[in-house]
Structure 1
Amino acid sequence: MPGTRYLSTSAMFEIAVISFVVFALFYWCRQRFRQLPLPYYEGRHVIITGCDTGFGNMLAKELDNRGFSVFAGCFTSNGEEELIKSCSHKLQCFPLDVSKTESIQRALLFIKSKLPRDTGIWCLVNNAGIAGSVGPSDWLTRRDFEEVMSVNLYGMIDMTNAFLPLIRKEKGRIVNMTSICGRITLAPVPYCASKFAAEAYSDYLRRDLYKEGVSVHIIEPGYFATNIADPGKVSHLIRAAYEKCDPDVKEYYGSAYVDQAIEKSKKFLGMVTNNNPGLVVDAYLSAVCSRYPAHRYLVGMSAQVVFRILWNLPESISDFILCLGRPVPVNLKTS
């Protein structure tokens, strides 16, 4: 058309290069901004749940080493003893079962009695979690879901509600452990349902506290070498779920299905499990120790790349990919 001007190829290339440089500079500045540490750690009190083993145990030790005053909730006395032996006198352990409201209330009374006068909590880390039962949907009961929800969701909610007044006092922060399984269901287990719910709760909580000076942060790991992703434990959970089934359900699936499911789960975990749990602890440390932490920490290459692609694909494609290796019930094959 007369009067219409078109950009030359060189001009378009220059715009593309400038856009890339601006984006890269913005990303670099944002990352540097997020790495700025708090001005001090001494005198800040942190509560961590699920400190017997795994991420919680490692985080408690690292924060204690950095000078924080750590309250470490442990489910077992062995977990308490191990932490007490390996940490400074500033770290204080207490028994905690987040699935029980009375245990949380006892923890609240204990921590209040140990806090200095007019001092609150800088950070609550809701780390405690369990895997729960594993198997097809008709192997699982309401009780299976309730058991997992009582720890992974209701425990998180009860801990937050109990300690929120102390967190408000410091204008502190809450760090919630969810999972990549809170974005895409990778196995037919109550665990995924609990993590989807924990994601929704965390988003709600962040917006609810937005104007109060309390921030909320989510840790979303992929599969890491912990008790929850242990192939031997998962195999035991699959077989235990099958053994609880009614006779007609067992007959429909057959014992061969169980063997195949165990073999497939081992193969899957072998492909996606990351053997460096320190990456998750690093994300925790950033959420606790940074001046301007991210809202979400997607941890691990499988979570950042492979599963990100899967949850953004149309369901027809992601379903096809995820169901390729699933075993088939014996009676379905013969019908």
Structure 2
Amino acid sequence: MSTFSSETAWLCLAVTAALGGLVLCKLKSPGQVGGKGVCLAGLWGGACLLSLSLFWSLILFSLSCFLLYTYLSGQELLPVDQKAVLITGGDSGIGHALCKYLDQLGFTVFAGVLDENGSGAEELRRTCSTRFSVLQLDVTDSQQIKDAYSKVVQKVQNRGLWAVVNNAGILGLPADGELIPMIHYKRCMDVNFFGAVEVTKAFLPLLRKSKGRLVNISSMAGGVPLFKMAAYGSSKAALTMFSAVMRQELSKWEVKVSNIQPGGFKTNITGTSEMQEKLEKDILDHLTPDVQEEYGQDYILAQKNVFKAVSTYASSDVSPVLQDIQHAISAKSPFTFYTPGSGAYLWLCFVSFSPTGIFDYFNKKFNYLNNGTPRILSMPNWKNKAM
């Protein structure tokens, strides 16, 4: 190798090292930003080294590091400056934890709760700062939404509202789609979708004024067809599409929209044992005799075991969700989608890009919500009888 070529190669190595170091510094971002950035840079660098000469590999890898550094510069967090944020569903679970988390960071937090006199609301009042406010806000009640809007306007005045986080949600009844009563389909849509839409419409004038953020908490189940989640998944899929449309329509107002699609996390979304027993009773009360006969009493009653399975495979550490929401609220250029939780991103990619038959095969293989076989399907020669 000539002296010139040797010096050029060493120069490229030095530039690559310098840019790589800058990228690693930038990758100290909340949530999943850092991990994905490292993966993309590693894959790109490996592809370059395997397919090109050393010189051009280093050139292209340096270019990729530079572009990644430029991109991640937009992920720097804006100063809090007591920015005002409205969070729905603050009574418990992720919403409750998020209220405390953002309050500690210095945000002015408005916690919309289902019961302003409940234990969750009382704990927030006791533990949060003087900036914190609790609002009675059932997202299915139009009058409560209007009242909450008036109270927020009164407090923020000219500062405006920086962000709305539509977090309120219910799981409904996790069971075979045919077994779920229509009342539970409608309830899931009322809370998970229509409630978020109405809250968004009510507070958008304040977000447009501040050029702020709209953050919708959807679910991995809104993009991945999971067993037993027909009602819940459908409502979250609707919310995901709503977010995508609003992202485009609000861009002219410089309002940024992000959709959070978490994997499994332990919250009280499954409800108390009393609530679960009521859901079980609702199944039996709404099924026709023919459907009850074909599924069988044992199979139907076993649906309550789905709640235990959901809790068993869920993570108790909700910090990845909180960090991603913080990033969506605070980053100069927030992401469109966030997928906190183990396996959420991979499952969403898998269902998007794999053939349907392959996805269905693996979905059945890894289905941890399976709880037996309907009575008629366990009978010998049931296929012949059906014909």
Quickly name the TM-score band, shorter chain normalised: 0.7 to 0.9
Find the aligned partners of 2:94 and 2:50 in 1 and give their Cα distance.
Answer: 51
Structure-2 separation of matches of 1:292 and 1:319: 36
What is the Cα-based RMSD across aligned positions, in Å? 2.7
* Structure 1 unaligned blocks of 5 or more: 1-8
Secondary structure (helix, strand or coil) at the match of 1:139 reads coil
Give distance in 1, aligned partners of 2:129 and 2:192.
Answer: 29
User: 1:137 is matched with which residue?
Assistant: 177
Secondary structure of the 1:175 match is strand
Find 1:249's aligned residue among 261, 277, 291. 291
Describe the SS at the equivalent of 1:293: coil
* Amino acid across the alignment from 2:96: N
Q: Please tell me the residue identity of whatever aligns with 1:289.
A: S
Alpha-carbon spacing, 1:10–1:261, altered in 2? closer, same or farther (3 Å): closer
Q: Which one-letter code corresponds to 1:193 in the other structure?
A: S
Deviations 1:120-169 (A, max 9, x none): 21111111111112222221233221111111111111011101111111
Q: For 1:145, give the aligned amino acid.
A: Y
Aligned position for 1:74: 113
Q: Distance in 2 between matches of 1:85 and 1:319?
A: 48
Do 2:270 and 2:307's aligned partners in 1 also have CA atoms closer than 8 Å? Answer: no
Greater alpha carbon shift after TM alignment, 210-219 vs 253-262 = 253-262
Which of 375, 379, 386 does residue 330 from structure 1 map onto?
Answer: 375
> 1:333: Cα distance to partner?
2.4
Deviating more after overlay: 11-20 vs 78-87: 11-20
Whether the 8 Å CA contact 1:242–1:250 is kept in 2: the answer is no
State the partner residue of 1:151: 191
Q: Deviations over 1:271-323 (max 9, x none)?
A: 4x222111101111111122221111111121022453244321112122223
Q: 1:59 corresponds to which residue?
A: 98
Structure 1 moving runs of 4+ over 6 Å: 230-235
- Whether the 8 Å contact between 2:265 and 2:317 is mirrored in structure 1 is yes
**Residues 10 and 97 of structure 1: CA distance in aligned 2, closer, same or farther (over 3 Å):** closer
For residues 110 and 82 of structure 1, do their structure 2 counterparts lie closer, same or farther at Cα, with a shift above 3 Å needed?
same
Structure 1 stretch displaced more, 218-227 or 21-30? 21-30
**TM-score between the two structures when normalised by the length of structure 1:** 0.87
Equivalent residues, number = 323
Structure 2 residues not aligned, in runs of 5+: 1-48, 383-387
Instruction: Report how far residue 267 of structure 1 moved.
Output: 4.6
Q: Equivalent pairs: percent with the same residue?
A: 30
* TM-score normalised by length of structure 2: 0.76
**Aligned-partner SS, 1:197:** helix
- Contact persistence 1:133–1:140 (CA under 8 A): yes
- Once the two structures are superposed, the pairs formed by residues 1-335 of structure 1 within 5 Å of their partners are 12-14=52-54, 15=56, 19=60, 22-23=63-64, 26-27=67-68, 29-34=70-75, 36-38=76-78, 40-76=79-115, 77-78=117-118, 79-116=120-157, 118-188=158-228, 189-228=230-269, 236=277, 239-244=280-285, 245-258=287-300, 261-263=303-305, 266-267=308-309, 270-271=312-313, 273-324=314-365, 326=370, 327-334=372-379, 335=382
Contact 1:119 1:169 in 2 (8 A): no
Q: Distance in 2 between matches of 1:106 and 1:332?
A: 53
- Aligned CA distance change for structure 1 residues 152 and 11 (closer, same or farther; 3 Å): closer
SS in 1 for 2:261: strand
